Amino acid sequence: MSIESVDVVITSPGRNFVTLKVVTSDGIVGWGDATLNGRELSVASYLSDHVASMLVGRDEDRIEDTWQYLYRGAYWRRGPVTMAAIAAVDMALWDIKAKKAGMPLYQLLGGASRDGVRVYAHASGTDFEALTNAITGYRELGFTAVRVQTGVPGLGQIYGVSAAGPGVRYDYEPAKRSGDRPAEETWDTRQYLNHMPGVFAKIREEFGTDLRLLHDGHHRMSPIEAARFAKDVEPYDLFWLEDCTPSEDQAALRLVRQHSTTPLAIGEVFNTVFDYQTLITERLIDYVRSAVTHTGGITAMKKLLDFAAIYGIRSGIHGPTDISPIGMAAALHLDLAIHNFGIQEYMPHNEQTLEVFRTSFTFDRGFLHPGDEPGLGVELDEEAASAHEYTKAYLPVNRLLDGTVHDW
């Protein structure tokens, strides 16, 4: 048996997704997620213009060999476009292998290490009242962990805060359909540093110590600012502080570590294990935040997480809505199987998306399970997908109050 056809499906049920479809000579279909938010068509072209013809005729069972063939064989290595393309092929081949075995993927990864996967939701609000409404709503749904983002007085719409008023939000979406260029937001780190610790103090007062609280700094602080923030929020027992500094500067976290015991998470913009080498071997982080979709797929993520495990570092796989339900399923199978699982991000997709991607994962009182369908457990409905045309969307650009471009 061999790979007979490889096609790229681009669809936009509320937001853009790029999906790889691999079909074997005996008709088994494998699906892979290749979505790279705001740069979707680059990955689609990488796959259809360069990779598809290389795969036709190959043995679909040789997953490791195919991974190395695409990674080492291309000469040009790493980078989000390349690694998202390789991830899509890798996911599709694992989907096929597990379907052939008649097993859910997690069984091929060693079987379940736990009964379910603890997830965290995105609770946000422009002010404290809206934020507490959101947290209360998620608690009522059974969530045991929430990421907290809120407005900062004096600043307008900022990262991670739903503009849509109070309540439980499933519709927060950072990529905006803003025409031919990105929307722009404003930022002031000093106002943020002065505001945020008080928010966590009030949340602990209102909700007690049980709830796991997470926060995303979204690469906006300098090393010394991040050290101050991590120290200031220490009394409020954060589960993690994510992306406190621009992630490409691995040495920055040495400074943060010297000043605080707040656990650190980083890596959603990383795409290989090499981005983590210093962070893991020097134990500068506590959680690995890569997405399966952006880090070369299941094969590469398993190796990365096994490497992290040696240093006592746990997983916190990226799971926003720009990871398709296929990428999310890949994460859930890994989460269930590995020993060093930490937590899984869960931003539920909207109804339109779920009509195109038929999922079998289930949510129960704060925990997800990937389900027991053979393979990844997600099937793309191509007819439904064809009704949603690609629409250009950008992540916003961030500027300081004086107009200087800042990290987003």
Catalytically active residues, by annotation? 159, 218
**Shortest Cβ 122–ligand KDG spacing (Å):** 7
Residue 90 contact partner, candidates ligand KDG, Mg ion, none, CB within 5 to 8 A by sort of partner: none
**Which is nearer to Mg ion, 216 or 275 (by Cβ)?**
216
Sheet arrangement for strand 405-406:
184-187, 397-400, 405-406
The residue count for binding ligand KDG (CB under 6 A) is: 10
Dihedral (CA of 357, 361, 363, 367) sign: negative
Query: 162-173 burial, b if ≥16 CB within 10 A, otherwise e?
Result: beeebebbeebb
Dihedral (CA of 252, 256, 258, 259) sign: positive
Cα angle: 219, vertex 333, 62; to 5 degrees = 100
Q: How many CB atoms lie within 10 A of CB 310?
A: 10
Interacting stretch for ligand KDG, rule CB under 6 A, among 126-134, 296-304, 318-326, 354-362? Answer: 318-326
Q: How far apart are the first and last CA of the chain?
A: 46
**Shortest Cβ 188–ligand KDG spacing (Å):** 19
Interacting stretch for Mg ion, rule CB under 5 A, among 36-44, 260-268, 343-351, 355-363? Answer: 260-268
216 touches Mg ion (CB under 5 A): yes
**Which is nearer to ligand KDG, 272 or 321 (by Cβ)?**
321
**Shortest Cβ 99–ligand KDG spacing (Å):** 29
Q: Where are the beta strands (DSSP E) in 195-308?
A: 212-216, 238-242, 264-266, 287-288
Interacting stretch for Mg ion, rule CB under 5 A, among 133-141, 208-216, 374-382, 390-398? Answer: 208-216
Chain mean position to CA 196: 24
Q: Are 356 and 141 in contact (CB under 8 A)?
A: no
**Which is nearer to ligand KDG, 3 or 253 (by Cβ)?**
253
286 touches Mg ion (CB under 5 A): no
Phi/psi of residue 404, nearest 5 degrees:
-65, 135
Q: Are 336 and 113 in contact (CB under 8 A)?
A: yes
Q: Torsion-angle region of residue 286: left (phi > 0), alpha (psi -120 to 50) or beta?
A: alpha
90 touches ligand KDG (CB under 6 A): no
The residue count for binding Mg ion (CB under 5 A) is: 2
Q: Are 291 and 326 in contact (CB under 8 A)?
A: no
- Residue number of the CB closest to ligand KDG reads 37
Residue 275 contact partner, candidates Mg ion, ligand KDG, none, CB within 5 to 8 A by sort of partner: none
**Shortest Cβ 101–ligand KDG spacing (Å):** 32
Residue 13 contact partner, candidates Mg ion, ligand KDG, none, CB within 5 to 8 A by sort of partner: none
**Which is nearer to Mg ion, 68 or 157 (by Cβ)?**
157
173 touches Mg ion (CB under 5 A): no
Q: Of 345, 359, 367, 394, which lies in the binding site for ligand KDG, with binding defined by CB under 6 A? A: 345
Q: Of 104, 217, 316, 320, which lies in the binding site for ligand KDG, with binding defined by CB under 6 A? A: 320
Query: H-helix or E-strand containing 8?
Result: strand 3-11
322 touches Mg ion (CB under 5 A): no
Q: Are 326 and 292 in contact (CB under 8 A)?
A: no
Interacting stretch for ligand KDG, rule CB under 6 A, among 20-28, 112-120, 314-322, 375-383? Answer: 314-322
Interacting stretch for ligand KDG, rule CB under 6 A, among 74-82, 194-202, 252-260, 316-324? Answer: 316-324
Query: H-helix or E-strand containing 22?
Result: strand 17-24
**Which is nearer to ligand KDG, 139 or 220 (by Cβ)?**
220
Q: How many CB atoms lie within 10 A of CB 303?
A: 13
Q: Are 92 and 22 in contact (CB under 8 A)?
A: yes
232 touches ligand KDG (CB under 6 A): no
Q: Of 33, 40, 268, 373, which lies in the binding site for ligand KDG, with binding defined by CB under 6 A? A: 268
Q: Of 14, 80, 174, 348, which lies in the binding site for ligand KDG, with binding defined by CB under 6 A? A: 174
Residue 286 contact partner, candidates ligand KDG, Mg ion, none, CB within 5 to 8 A by sort of partner: none
33 touches ligand KDG (CB under 6 A): no
**Which is nearer to Mg ion, 106 or 159 (by Cβ)?**
159
Residues in the chain: 408
Q: How many CB atoms lie within 10 A of CB 19?
A: 29
How many Cα atoms within 13 Å fall on the side-chain side of residue 192?
Answer: 26
The site for Mg ion (CB under 5 A) is made up of 216, 268
**Where along the sequence are the contacts to ligand KDG (CB under 6 A)?**
37, 174, 216, 218, 268, 318, 320, 322, 345, 395
